[in-house]
Structure 1
Amino acid sequence: MEENAQIAAAGQLTARGAKTRSRIVATAADLMRVRGVGATTLDDVVSASAVSKSQLYRHFEDKPALVRSVIELVGEQTITGERERLEKVRTFAGLRRWRDALVTHNALEEGRYGCALGSLANEVSDQDSVARGKLQDLFTTWQELFEDLLRRFQREGVIPQDAAVAQLATGFVAAVQGGYLLAQTSRDVTPMASAIDMAITHLHLLARTRDAAS
């Protein structure tokens, strides 16, 4: 009910109001990525986004409402980026390029902040069931992107037709998320690269099994 009311209200925003709301959410997302959800206060967001408290409360009745909007923004950015990259993968060489780009990008910050979605899930899943539901949907969508990639591999004869695509896709998401976490704690992307390499190596083994059976 609360979420529907907010959506209805958002649809009635003026262009200026929509711009202010977007600025608040983007600013909150940046702060929460660096500081964490728990350490980011509404006062921090007000100050950093250069809005008044009354403006913030006009768009968000409390911090959980703002966090949910941050999840939507971060989720859209994450899924859109991964969709664009993964849809281009047709071969093992393409998969390796995806892996290299992901690891290289995370290395720019020495793995300091981990995965934006993973970090949000770690902080809010036990506190807000609505937020947890949004995050679950986003991770499911991410897994489906890997499933689509693996089905392309099946169509191209890269991996066996009987490969457990859903299970493999879950493994890839787990490897990416676990890799982000290991890189964050060690300030080194090497463990992240190793985790993803293990998932890719497993696909190579499936491909060899298929070749041996041919």
Structure 2
Amino acid sequence: MTEEPKPRRLTPKGRATRDRIIEAATELIARNGVAGTGIEDVRAAAGVSGSQLYHYFDSKQALIRAVITRQADSVLHPDQPRVTALDSFDALRAWADAAIERQRENGCRGDCTLGSLAGELSVSDEESRTDLATGFLRWKDLILDGLRAMRDRGGLRADADLDELALSLLTALQGGVLLSQTMLHVRPLEAAMNASLAYVHSFATTAGR
């Protein structure tokens, strides 16, 4: 088996340049989609030369995969709806409200998210589909960790299928965002999140309630 090459170690300046390229690509994809974003568009938006861009990304696919990784990591950023501490019903509600508010603030216009990237890439690009699936599974596992903490504290019944609950919450978020952005209204996302949270609440213990 051929080993994958180890990631190039970057200087702080090199890391900043690479991050700027990824940021520019992310913003362009949010506006124009993957198909409508060309390498030259990214180069101009990032303010780098062609040789600089190809130093970090030898193809558009490599750049797109970096964008996918960035967006999978976005749940760790303080300005994004967080799934890193969903260990109470209040935290779950706050996370849902943050996602809804984000859509309301941007008028339900498209973002460059794992969901939007999956809509363009999951069928046509197997490598990207695998990266997207890995990102979604990371998000699901973060939700699962919070639910597990709730159960361990006695807030959720012992018979609750935590994996199913975590997938329900993640699917509600992704599906709700897709419909909200299609219909340009937050109501689909609100309905999806409310229904999924109600499902989780149905497994609450007396102490959890």
* Alignment TM class, shorter chain as reference: 0.7 to 0.9
Identity among equivalent pairs (%): 35
Question: For residues 183 and 145 of structure 1, what CA distance do their matches in structure 2 show?
Answer: 24
Match of 1:183? Answer: 180
The alignment status of 1:102 with 2:99, answered yes or no, reads yes
Instruction: Give the C-alpha shift of residue 84 in structure 1.
Output: 8.4
The alignment status of 1:43 with 2:43, answered yes or no, reads no
Which sections of structure 2, spanning at least 5 residues, go unmatched?
Answer: none
Is contact 2:107–2:185 with CA below 8 Å preserved after alignment? yes
Per mean C-alpha deviation after superposition, the further-off stretch among 15-24 and 83-92 is 83-92
TM-score by length of 2: 0.88
Question: For residues 104 and 2 of structure 1, what CA distance do their matches in structure 2 show?
Answer: 46
Taking the TM superposition and a 5 Å limit, the aligned residue runs for 1:144-159 are 144-159=141-156
Question: For residues 83 and 107 of structure 1, what CA distance do their matches in structure 2 show?
Answer: 14
Match of 1:93? Answer: 90
Q: Of the candidates 181, 187, 199, which is equivalent to residue 202 of structure 1? A: 199
Match of 2:162? Answer: 165
Is contact 2:180–2:189 with CA below 8 Å preserved after alignment? yes
Which sections of structure 1, spanning at least 5 residues, go unmatched?
Answer: none
Is contact 2:83–2:142 with CA below 8 Å preserved after alignment? yes
Q: 1:3 to 1:57 in 2, by over 3 A?
A: farther
Deviations 1:16-67 (A, max 9, x none): 3332222111111111122111100011111111111222122211110111
Is contact 2:173–2:193 with CA below 8 Å preserved after alignment? yes
Match of 2:61? Answer: 64
Match of 2:119? Answer: 122
Count of residues in Structure 1 that have an aligned counterpart in Structure 2:
206
Question: For residues 57 and 191 of structure 2, what CA distance do their matches in structure 1 show?
Answer: 41
Question: For residues 3 and 135 of structure 1, what CA distance do their matches in structure 2 show?
Answer: 22
Is contact 2:151–2:158 with CA below 8 Å preserved after alignment? yes
Find the residue that maps to 2:202 and give its secondary structure: helix
Q: Which structure's residues are more often helix, by fraction? A: 1
The alignment status of 1:29 with 2:26, answered yes or no, reads yes
Is contact 2:27–2:112 with CA below 8 Å preserved after alignment? no
Q: Of the candidates 70, 73, 82, which is equivalent to residue 70 of structure 2? A: 73
Moved over 4 A (4+): 79-84
Is contact 1:64–1:128 with CA below 8 Å preserved after alignment? no
Find the residue that maps to 1:206 and give its secondary structure: coil
Greater Rg over alpha carbons, structure:
1
Q: 1:16 to 1:152 in 2, by over 3 A?
A: closer
Question: For residues 2 and 106 of structure 1, what CA distance do their matches in structure 2 show?
Answer: 44
Letter in 1 for 2:148: R
Find the residue that maps to 1:85 and give its secondary structure: coil
Deviations 1:125-172 (A, max 9, x none): 223222221111111111111111211221222221011111111111
Match of 1:134? Answer: 131
